[in-house]
Amino acid sequence: MSIKNTVMPPLVLTVICTIISCALIFANDATKERVEQINKETLNETLTSAFGEGTYTETDKTFEGVDTIIEGEGGLTVYEITTDGYNSDGIHVLVGIKDKAVKGVSFISCSETPGLGTKVNNKDYLKTYVGIKSESEADDADAVTGATFSSKGLKTAVKLALQADKEVRHYE
Amino acid sequence: MSNLKEFTKGFIKENPTLVTLLGMCPTLAVTTQASNGIGMGLATTFVLVGSNIVISLLKKIIPDAVRLPCYIVIIAGFVTLIEFLLKGYVPALYNSLGIFLSLITVNCIILGRAEVFASKNKVVPSVLDGLGMGLGFTLSLTLMGTVRELLGSGTVFGLSIPLINESPMTVFILPAGGFFTLGIIIAVINKLRHKKPPKEIGCKGCPNMASCEKLRNGGI
């Protein structure tokens, strides 16, 4: 066994891995700010288009399964929830709750099957969830044909928001 | 072979999806919409050109025994890079490609071109090869996406088409419709190439024969 055959292969592989990792560290640093800014912008845009202009403040309250809890004006609380639809973490929505009832549901991103699961991301369909007060009412809402799993995922998100709201606002 | 031929062979003669049938997973999965097909195709082209350049530059340095892990690391590096870029600059496309973006790493077109072409040729032909193959892939994905979107959702690039729009055939955006579409497109392309099915299945009819033979004679 010569040195060329024993030492070189692992050495070259190690060097290549190291160089690629370093390059990616730089690339990550370069795009990180931009990505965070885009995420923030999308969140703000979705908030304003779904619940109107106003001030929204992120709170440090937590509830299991809810990403962030955002306080709006006039007793509105918005729950940012990511849940599984047909795809893992395919449904990323904001559920706004005011006076114990759902005020509105709005998608931040929907990575479900394009043309099928994405049908749940439709303004008219999302309106069917407005006014829902209990988890059983959420279960009774119609699902979209061809998007059974995505509809289920959306219902899970709405139910989770209702549970969270009970906990956060202390009512039964 | 001249440089121009290296570039154009990927379009029809050796089209990666329709003739050599590589990269079937993204072909069937993301082509529910024409715009996804274009996005996926261009992202793959970027990775293909990048990895072809680096691999053809490093072909003398990389030892044979570890060439596959080396290629995969280089390809994965480019995939992660394009993931960062899309996340930062085209978030909509990033969201709709989802998991299939990371899976470009294991797209056999890219590893295939690295193995049979870039590792044996100079930089310029390798770039042209990557560009041609990538564009061929993009073209076939866009074609698939347009057909499936038109028949399955009644839209093309998001614009609704009257008549078909009223009752689209949902099956075309389901996986089964992907296979239908792919089969029919391959049949049409074969007809256009005046290619008769081989009497005996073997190496003769395969466009990859030349490079494949070389591998069999020369290496692992």
Q: Which long-range contacts (CB under 8 A, 24 or more apart) does A131-134 make?
A: A131/A101, A131/A102, A132/A101, A132/A102, A132/A158, A132/A162, A133/A100, A133/A101, A133/A102, A133/A162, A134/A162
Contacts of A122 (CB under 8 A, 6+ apart): A144
CA distance A94 to chain B (A): 17
> Residue range A136-163: average pLDDT?
89
Return the half-sphere exposure (C-beta side, CA atoms, 13 A cut-off) of residue A76: 21
User: Do A17 and B73 lie within an 8 Å CB cutoff?
Assistant: yes
Q: Which of B70, B171, B181 to mutate to test the interface with A (most CBs of A within 10 A)?
A: B70
Q: Is pLDDT above 90 for A18? A: yes
Taking CB atoms and an 8 Å limit, are B70 and A16 in contact across chains?
A: yes
Distance CA A27, CA A167 (A): 42
pLDDT at B47: 92
Q: What is the pLDDT of residue B220?
A: 47
Q: Taking a C-beta distance cutoff of 8 angstroms, is the pair B94, B83 a contact?
A: yes
Query: What integer pLDDT is reported at residue B17 of this predicted model?
Result: 84
How near does any CA of chain A get to the CA of B48, in Å?
16
Q: Using one digit for the tens of pLDDT, what is the confidence trace for B9-58?
A: 888 778 888 888 888 888 888 888 888 888 889 889 999 999 999 999 99
> Using CA atoms, how far apart are residues A150 and B196, in angstroms rounded to an integer?
45
The Cα-based distances of A126 to A50, A135, A142, A147, B95 in angstroms read 11, 16, 11, 13, 20
What number is the ipTM of this complex? 0.70
| Domain locations in chain B as residue ranges | 3-218
* pLDDT, averaged in runs of 10, over chain B (220 residues): 78 81 84 86 91 91 87 92 87 75 86 88 90 92 91 83 80 88 89 70 68 63
Lookup: tokens for B143: 């074609």
User: What pLDDT is recorded for position B219?
Assistant: 52
User: What is the average per-residue pLDDT within A101-110?
Assistant: 87
pLDDT at residue B199, as a whole number: 66
- Half-sphere exposure at residue A138, Cβ-oriented, CA atoms within 13 angstroms: 21
